[in-house]
Structure 1
């Protein structure tokens, strides 16, 4: 009686040891699962990107070259990944509004966007203050494209080559004008670099966008213009303006018959470049995945043809190279911006 009652009220040391061992085994299994699960979560943050739709912020208005080029890239990325890349236009303040939206978004890889020379290399010197730090507030996942500018002159100007234009400008200092889409743009800075390297005094006439400047160029109200290659190249092929040179270091594949300014002015190189931008703090594995998928998109034959039809050259870089390039461009352009007087307080 007593022994059966004792068995019901308690357990033998052997039984207690067995239960304790089972608890230890279960605890160890749970710990092992947690240890194996944590790296799996980290891997998932990078290796399966994207596993849902991605928002792509374009800091410029719809309908322009950057919008078209962005949508072409997003469409190709959607084809490659099977996920939607949705373009959202957030324009304002020369691209700074959209850049700030990218910088302040959640660093989960599902809000990315367009970075480039305007917000990441020109803005730090052009603007007295910025709501973001181009060097610290972004993850740059590689280059996207480069777009050279084109120097074109009005048909009434008696200059058919760059040396003839330089000679004319030196003979009439301060009399020849060049238009651009606005102060502080790569178009304005192309003219400022031309003045510096050629030793001339072209007068800058800023416009609110390229379209009104093109109209005045065709009409002869300004003598020349630096513009992104697509629009002005079309005017030149229609016989409405005369193209003299592109601003990239090499000739453009889009118009190989047009020389580069560097052929006459060594060291001349101003292009509109862009990069894949995201907020700071993305996991390295995810950045590597973005870079690899973007490379596939940029190296596809269809995208290359579409970009070149618009005057742009696909421009893939490593993540390390785009960081170095951005810093070098900021340092190179800063003295030119200050000298041009294009400062926004």
Structure 2
């Protein structure tokens, strides 16, 4: 009996050990495979560059692929809808942006997603101001000169944007409303095609995300006038803020990471921890700064709360500017 019991116990231990060693029963640590990151704007723009820099750093940290898939159109709404419709298994995440999440709920009377129910908010990634740049043929060297020029020529001057509902669009709409200007809005499917027409003179000005606009100004292809943040940016301190001429003018752009609603808490916690680690990396901080952005980590709870406050702060601005669309 004693021998039989000893054999039985050894067999039980062997079975238990084999079960623990069976790969099928092990819980893989996220990401444990390639991750698709949906970029909601076209390739080549500021948000696309920053998204790819972050994905590259995440790939270095995890040893897994983070593949950017651009799903652009409708001021980021198409890509944002794709994130909302993705399977919540951690294999698909994407860019959370001010355009569809902070501005869109007020700007559009109908959206193909619910900002309060369809997403799992994870963390902010960056913040950056916009930058007012002119085609070189526009005869204005300061914001007051530009205001006087446009006022003297109602309906003649146009401003480009990377799409209706972006901070780029809203900056132009706010400028026109606060300065009492009659201007034409020309929306594009992203910043890159807008830059082409702005440099060529087919549109006259643009409140672009600072990385591309400042780069084109430094190359001499555009003329810079001002930034839209509350303070002058350390990346180009020689340029005044719009608020120095139009008190109360302040708009910043931001980006973050989110997934579809229903992401497992373990995935959210792991993604949050890895995001914190990535945003603390000196090389990523430097690359973001080179592109006019500052790294911005938040907890999932902080990010969701920020988004709601951001929507509330933009709502009166959008209504005052008369920028609401169907």
Does 2:278 align with 1:324?
Answer: no
* Map of 1:185 onto structure 2: 166
- How many residue pairs match? The answer is 305
Which of 188, 201, 205 is matched with 2:185 structurally?
205
Preserved CA contact (<8 Å) 1:192 1:336? no
Are the aligned partners of 2:170 and 2:323 in contact in 1 as well (CA < 8 Å)?
no
Stretch moving more, 57-66 or 187-196: 57-66
Unaligned runs of 5+ in 1: 1-21, 27-32, 38-43
Residues 238 and 56 (structure 1), Cα distance of their counterparts in 2 relative to 1, 3 Å cut:
closer
Give the structure with higher Rg (CA).
1
Taking structure 1 as reference, are residues 216 and 85 closer, same or farther at Cα in structure 2, changes over 3 Å only? closer
Offset, 1:344: 4.6
Q: Higher mean Cα deviation, 245-254 or 159-168? A: 159-168
How much does 1:277 deviate?
Answer: 0.7
Change (3 A) 1:80 1:182: closer
Q: Which deviations, in whole Å up to 9, do the C-alpha atoms of 1:215-274 show, x marking residues without a partner?
A: 554455544322222332223223333211111222233222222223333332222211
Match of 1:17 in 2: none
State the shift of 1:151 in Å: 0.6
CA 1:335–1:232 in structure 2 vs 1: closer, same or farther (change >3 Å)? same
Alpha-carbon separation, structure 2, partners of 1:56 and 1:86? 6
SS of the residue corresponding to residue 69 of structure 2 reads strand
- Aligned-pair distance for 1:332? 2.5
Whether the aligned pair in 1 keeps the contact of 2:39 and 2:72 (CA below 8 Å) is yes
Greater Cα shift, 176-185 or 304-313: 176-185
Alignment of 1:182-331 (within 5 A): 182-197=163-178, 199-208=179-188, 209-211=190-192, 213-218=194-199, 220=201, 222-331=203-312
Distance 1:268 1:215, change over 3 A: same
The answer to which of 179-188 and 334-343 deviates more is: 334-343
CA distance in structure 2 between the aligned counterparts of 1:145 and 1:86, rounded to whole angstroms: 19
Say what the alpha-carbon RMSD is for the aligned residues. 3.1
Shift of 1:203: 0.2
| Equivalent position to 2:53, from 65, 68, 72 | 72
Point out where structure 2 has 5 or more consecutive residues left out of the alignment: 10-15, 21-26
Q: 1:255 & 1:287 partners in 2: Cα distance?
A: 36
TM-score w.r.t. structure 2 length? Answer: 0.80
Q: Deviations over 1:71-97 (max 9, x none)?
A: 211111121122222222233333222
Q: Mapping of 1:120-131 within 5 angstroms?
A: 120-131=101-112
**Cα separation, 2, equivalents of 1:56 and 1:110:** 9
Q: Match of 2:177, SS?
A: helix
- Offset, 1:65: 2.9
The 1:335/1:68 distance shift into structure 2, 3 A limit, reads same
Q: Is the 8 A contact 2:121 2:259 kept in 1?
A: yes
